[in-house]
């Protein structure tokens, strides 16, 4: 089982470009489809890992590994997630001067940008659907994203406003 965990997360780490959120649909597919976790459990793990400091993809792989095989499973999954990126970055660093100004490399990265956006948007929509967000509830994250993107508002202010809104909702509105 340890090799299966390790190789599963190596595969995820090798074929995901764009960071942790781009890895999310692959991790979800591998973990849920193999029956290692239910979809609800995966969403709970996803929610907890977002609140932890550190690299999101590594955090979620550690949680999945620990849930399945305790500490050894967590180590296998973390190494499987980190190792491909480490090796790729090491190879890029070794040959960076040769490929830095290569036109084909620039074109490849420009071509990958839309795919990375899709890899981030799809798990967001899937998660919103699976936790049954209403249109009103969906308005909050969409508004926050637009304020950050279009108005240039700092995410820190959005988080503070969300904390204030949650406290207000808990004290005033929910008690009614």
Reported for 24-28, long-range contacts at CB under 8 A and 24+ positions apart, including other chains, are 24/60, 24/119, 24/120, 24/123, 25/119, 25/122, 25/123, 25/126, 27/57, 27/60, 27/61, 27/64, 28/123, 28/126
- Is the separation of the CB atoms in 99 and 92 below 8 Å? yes
**Mean pLDDT (the chain, rounded):** 84
Would you place residue 79 in the very low, low, confident or very high pLDDT band (cuts 50, 70, 90)?
very high
18-22, 74-78, 134-138: which is most confident: 74-78
- CA dist 74 and 53 (Å) reads 17
- Could you tell me what percent of the chain has a pLDDT over 90? 17
Each domain of the chain, given as residue ranges in start order, spans: 2-132, 133-176
Answer for the pair 5, 68: CB distance below 8 angstroms, yes or no.
yes
Both tokens of 128, joined, read: 């919103």
Please report, rounded to a whole number, the percentage of residues in the chain having pLDDT higher than 70: 93
pLDDT at 75 over 90: yes
Integer Cα distance of 35 and 29 in angstroms: 10
CB atoms within 10 A of CB 172: 9
Q: Which pTM was predicted?
A: 0.60
Give 173's pLDDT tier (boundaries 50, 70, 90): confident
In the predicted structure, residue 86 carries a pLDDT above the cut 90? no
pLDDT at 99: 66
Task: State residue 56's pLDDT score.
Answer: 82
Measured over the CA atoms of residue 23, residue 29, residue 35 and residue 37, the dihedral's sign is: positive
Per the CB < 8 A criterion, the answer to whether 110 and 97 are in contact is no
């Amino acid at each position: 089982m340890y090799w299966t965990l390790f190789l599963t997360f190596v595969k995820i780490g090798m074929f995901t470009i764009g960071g942790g959120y781009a890895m999310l649909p692959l991790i979800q597919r591998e973990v849920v489809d193999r029956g290692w976790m239910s979809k609800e459990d995966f969403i709970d793990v996803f929610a907890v890992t977002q609140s932890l400091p550190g690299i999101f993809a590594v955090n979620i792989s550690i949680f999945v590994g620990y849930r399945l095989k305790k500490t050894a499973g967590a180590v296998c999954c973390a190494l499987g997630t980190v190792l491909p990126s480490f090796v790729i970055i090491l190879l890029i660093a070794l040959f960076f001067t040769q490929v830095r100004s290569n036109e084909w490399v620039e074109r490849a990265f420009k071509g990958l940008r839309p795919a990375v956006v899709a890899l981030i948007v799809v798990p967001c929509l899937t998660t919103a659907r699976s936790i049954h967000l209403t249109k009103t509830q969906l308005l909050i994250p969409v508004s926050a994203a637009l304020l950050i993107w279009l108005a240039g508002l700092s995410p820190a202010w959005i988080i503070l406003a969300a904390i204030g809104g949650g406290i207000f909702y808990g004290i005033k509105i929910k008690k009614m």
